[in-house]
Amino acid sequence: MSNAYRALPSLNALRAFEAAGRHLNFRAAADELFVTQGAVAQQVRILEEQMGFALFQRLPKGVALTAQGAIYFAEVTRAFETLKKATTQILKEPRTVTISVTPTFATKLLLPNLSALTAAVPDIDLRTVATESIADFDRDQVDIAVRLTRSPFSTSFDTQLLFKQKLVAVANPYFVADITLPMSLKQLKEMPLLHDSHNHWPRFLNTTDNLPGAVFNQTALALDAALAGQGVAIACQAFVQADLSAGRLLQVSELDLTVEPDYYLIRKRTSVSRPAVDAVWEWFIENLVVG
């Protein structure tokens, strides 16, 4: 600790001085601080000894600030107001948790469950960053990330497997209304295929042939096209399960393909307690882990 901080008066002495300066009465100050009048007088005396000059004139009834005491009282009062304002502001600020997720995860899993998450952790200000970029926890001030990745992981991170990439082929029920399901591999190859940046169709269909069809830079967009009846898309089953259950999409083939990497929940380990981050982390594990 520096000499400058060692020279600062004690907080108790400053509180006693400030209260006595407002009331101009040691007894009234003592009543406010829930201490004895003698305790206030002692703290003021200690402060005066440290400052090297008198802060109060002792009067028959009460006290009066000296000229130097009045100047110091104004500065101490200002300092206490600054502390009070800072404390009030920080206590009013919501507990913020920033999560970084892939765009498809955000669209297909996080947003549909956002009301459940906010209900489970109502006092948390949740900030979501949807990006495929690797999260830099320090630079981007990210608390939790969901990413396609694989083990092993650095010991500086906590990780939790959410689900593996089990790919299925899906389409709008009306789009395949005249087709007997499930489709064969040959039928699938002849369908309008919707591609995304992962380009899993060749591996899914076990072919090196050129596969025409609309190409999207995000899986979520390919799925939106499938929902709109524009063709057949493939995606991780976890992303389409809600649409399959609701009948908005149909799995059009018995084929499925599990590919790596997997979807993991990740956060940086820290020795500092972070209840807000812990609450969101636990909610993800309880609600989005697919067994």
Q: Which residues face 264 on adjacent strands?
A: 147, 161
Burial of 138 (0-12, 13-18, 19+ CB in 10 A): exposed
Helix (H, G, I), strand (E, B) or coil at 48: helix
pLDDT of residue 1: 43
Q: Which residue type does 22 have? A: R
- Cβ neighbours for 172, distance < 8 A, ≥ 6 positions apart: 226, 227, 228, 229, 248, 249, 250
Task: Indicate the pTM of the whole model.
Answer: 0.67
| Distance in angstroms (rounded) separating the CA atoms of residues 179 and 146 | 37
Under CATH, what is the fold of the domain 3-92? Arc Repressor Mutant, subunit A (1.10.10)
Q: What is the pLDDT of residues 181-194, one digit of tens each?
A: 999 988 999 899 99
Q: What is the pLDDT of residues 35-60, one digit of tens each?
A: 999 999 999 999 999 999 999 999 88
CA atoms within a 13 Å half-sphere pointing along the CA-CB vector of 273: 1
Architecture of domain 95-291: 3-Layer(aba) Sandwich (3.40)
pLDDT of residue 105: 93
CA atoms within a 13 Å half-sphere pointing along the CA-CB vector of 37: 8
pLDDT of residue 146: 92
CA torsion 199-205-210-213 (nearest 10°) is -60
pLDDT tens sequence for the chain (291 residues): 445 455 788 999 999 999 999 999 999 999 998 999 999 999 999 999 999 999 999 988 889 999 999 999 999 999 999 988 887 776 665 578 999 999 999 999 999 999 999 999 888 888 898 887 776 777 778 899 999 888 888 888 899 999 999 999 999 999 999 998 999 988 999 899 999 999 999 999 998 888 889 999 999 999 999 999 999 999 999 999 999 999 999 999 999 999 999 999 999 888 777 888 999 999 999 999 886
In the chain, where the domains are located: 3-92, 95-291
| Distance in angstroms (rounded) separating the CA atoms of residues 27 and 4 | 32
DSSP 166-230: EEEEEE-TTTTTTS-SSPPHHHHHTS-EEB-TT--HHHHTT--S---S-B-SSHHHHHHHHHTTS
Q: What is the pLDDT of residues 64-94, one digit of tens each?
A: 999 999 999 999 999 999 988 887 776 665 5
| Distance in angstroms (rounded) separating the CA atoms of residues 172 and 243 | 10
95-291 shares the fold of 3-92: no
